[in-house]
């Protein structure tokens, strides 16, 4: 392979490696509109922790009946991710429920709008 192609291939690898250090943890959030947590979820969202380990993401507002949070990438230094769910957007965040990223199915009686992750 000519040298100029090797340089072009190396650039994306360098960028992805530098981004990997920015996000300390990641969880996958899945929402179902009816039934339990079997089958295909209606909404999915990846929530990444920021440089300080805390982040918030807004999702579409649908009346979920069940939420499942699964760990994709753990927190650093033996800490565990804590996921808070709000029925209002991130800017006005109010905790409705606190979930663990253990893959369990959690019944809810409100419409989730925002998810906040932190490492504790």
Region 88-108: mean pLDDT is 96
In a domain, residue 17? The reply is no
| pLDDT tens-digit series, residues 104-113 | 999 999 999 9
In a domain, residue 45? The reply is yes
Which of the four pLDDT bands, split at 50, 70 and 90, describes residue 24?
A: low
Which of the four pLDDT bands, split at 50, 70 and 90, describes residue 2?
A: low
49: containing domain: 23-119
Residue whose pair of structure tokens reads 């943890």 in the numeric block: 25
**Cross-strand partners of 71:** 27
In a domain, residue 104? The reply is yes
Helix (H) or strand (E) holding 6: helix 3-20
* Whole-angstrom distance, CA of residue 83 vs CA of residue 75: 12
Residue whose pair of structure tokens reads 């918030």 in the numeric block: 56
In a domain, residue 14? The reply is no
Region 23-42: mean pLDDT is 89
> pTM of this prediction?
0.76
pLDDT at residue 15 is higher than 60: no
Give pLDDT, residue 4: 52
Residue whose pair of structure tokens reads 């192609």 in the numeric block: 5
**Cross-strand partners of 116:** 56, 84
Q: Are 66 and 103 in contact (CB under 8 A)?
A: no
In a domain, residue 1? The reply is no
Domains: count for the chain: 1
Virtual torsion, Cα 26, 45, 98, 64, nearest 10 deg: -160
Region 42-52: mean pLDDT is 85
In a domain, residue 9? The reply is no
In a domain, residue 28? The reply is yes
In a domain, residue 15? The reply is no
Kindly report the average pLDDT of the chain as a whole number. Answer: 82
| pLDDT tens-digit series, residues 53-92 | 788 999 999 999 999 999 999 988 778 889 999 999 999 9
For residue 109, the Cα-to-chain-centroid distance in whole angstroms is 21
């Amino acid at each position: 392979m000519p040298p100029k192609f090797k340089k072009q291939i190396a650039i994306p690898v360098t960028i992805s490696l530098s981004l990997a250090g920015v996000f300390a943890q990641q969880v996958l959030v899945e929402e179902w509109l009816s039934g339990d947590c079997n089958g295909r979820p209606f909404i999915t969202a990846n929530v990444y922790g920021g440089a300080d380990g805390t982040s918030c993401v807004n999702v579409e507002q649908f009346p979920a009946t069940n939420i499942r949070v699964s760990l994709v990438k753990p927190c650093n230094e033996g800490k565990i991710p804590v996921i808070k769910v709000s029925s209002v957007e991130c800017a006005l965040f109010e905790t409705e429920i606190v979930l663990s990223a253990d893959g369990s199915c959690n019944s809810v009686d409100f419409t989730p709008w925002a998810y906040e992750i932190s490492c504790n």
